[in-house]
Structure 1
């Protein structure tokens, strides 16, 4: 096997194992019906191979995957102001690191007061203190 082919195969295999879902282009604004994948919680990246998501559904409902459990909440969006009620979730047990990350995410979500987009197109959800939750837009499901 040639060296180029070997490098191509290794690159393809590593790309397939990254665990990131396909992302869409940066939207013009935050709106109901949008779906997001969490990349950072404050100053921390996510635990390897974990997937946290946020969907802002119609009628002020939000839901997603907490990495271990499914969660849901209500939200209010007024311009750049965004707030969530305290999320509730299913009660499945998972490894300690995933449970801790999920609890941190749900706690941070309940403290959000505003949103913006970074220069790289990430959605940033801000509380009054600390670093934001950073998310990438997800493509629509086929």
Structure 2
């Protein structure tokens, strides 16, 4: 059994402030202080940046591949070819998609859509840090990366 170390409140607060101060504007991450505050999962437009470790190429579509989580447990998005929708459930760092469906528009050679739908099916976890949302697989592997973006 692990021992519990008790740290006085003011010491713990000092450590937390020092840790955060080290993160603000850190050149290693290239992020500004504004990016450190995590965007909320729900009601945020998450644009797809990469899938299966590869950057997403520009599509000819008017909209970019994205995902939108609603407060009521529904999810919707655009794959680069088709609209998709379904349900999601978050428990802690676990994220599961359920009852997913999509429109059936024919888009030859749309590998992004195929990889995105496969990633959604394999997703069991989520990591939300700043303006980035990562969908994670069973072994903790990164399946897809999204970035919070303003809706156009």
TM-score, scaled to structure 2: 0.65
1:109 equivalent in alignment to 2:103: no
State the Cα distance separating 1:73 from its structure 2 match.
1.3
Q: Which runs of 5+ in 2 are unaligned?
A: 1-33
- Take 1:91 and 1:37, find their aligned partners in 2: how far apart are those partners? 21
Count of residue correspondences: 115
* Partner in structure 1 of residue 4 of structure 2: none
The one of 123, 137, 143 aligned to 1:132: 143
* Partner in structure 2 of residue 39 of structure 1: 49
Query: What are the equivalent positions in structure 2 for 1:40-119 lying under 5 Å apart?
Result: 40-49=50-59, 51-96=64-109, 98=110, 100-118=111-129
Q: Based on CA coordinates, which of the two structures has the bigger radius of gyration?
A: 2
State the Cα distance separating 1:101 from its structure 2 match.
1.8
- Take 1:123 and 1:136, find their aligned partners in 2: how far apart are those partners? 6
Q: Which runs of 5+ in 1 are unaligned?
A: 1-23
- Take 1:82 and 1:116, find their aligned partners in 2: how far apart are those partners? 9
- SS for the counterpart of 1:117 is strand
State the Cα distance separating 1:117 from its structure 2 match.
3.3
Query: Taking CA–CA contacts closer than 8 Å with sequence separation of 6 or more, which of the two structures ends up with the larger relative contact order?
Result: 1
- SS for the counterpart of 2:57 is coil
State the Cα distance separating 1:114 from its structure 2 match.
1.0
TM-score, scaled to structure 1: 0.69
- Take 1:132 and 1:78, find their aligned partners in 2: how far apart are those partners? 19
- SS for the counterpart of 2:138 is coil
